[in-house]
Amino acid sequence: MLKSGMYTQLAPVLFGSGTAGQAGEIVKSFGCSKVMLVSDEGVLEAGAAGKVRCVLERSGIEVVMWAEAETDCPEESVKRAAAVGRREKIDGVVGVGGGSVLDTAKAVSAVVPNDDQVLD
């Protein structure tokens, strides 16, 4: 059985049973007040993204949902999400899902403040 924990890189990755409940306090510790929650249709339909959204909102964090992540994180998908993030003036990104979702979330967090320059 997979143990719960946190894999740390530039941004933390929470995994395992019960860790979704920690998302609000961790996001707040970064000083975020409005985040884009990046996911895909499958994760959204399974209820995981909604659960994290509720945790974030209960922590006083405004959430902009974007559940259009695609397999292998295509550039156009990142650009669409980043455009929404800029328009909504997000100050953080949370990814809920598998590899492509997390790759998209990481790319969006780099592209939003850099006007797509990261992709160039």
Residue 90 near residue 33 (C-beta atoms within 8 A): no
Compute the distance between CA of residue 25 and CA of residue 29 in angstroms, rounded to an integer: 6
- Average pLDDT across the chain, whole number: 91
pLDDT of 1 strictly over 60: no
Query: Tell me, what's the pLDDT at 4?
Result: 75
pLDDT of 59 strictly over 70: yes
pLDDT of 106 strictly over 70: yes
Picking from 92, 35, 110, 103, the residue whose alpha carbon sits closest to that of residue 69 is: 103
**Region 31-114: CATH code:** 3.40.50.1970
Is the full-model pTM beyond 0.95?
no
Q: What are the domain boundaries of the chain?
A: 31-114
Which of these ranges, 3-12, 13-22, 63-72, has the smallest mean pLDDT? 3-12
State the pLDDT confidence band at 2, using cuts at 50, 70 and 90.
Answer: low
Compute the distance between CA of residue 85 and CA of residue 66 in angstroms, rounded to an integer: 9
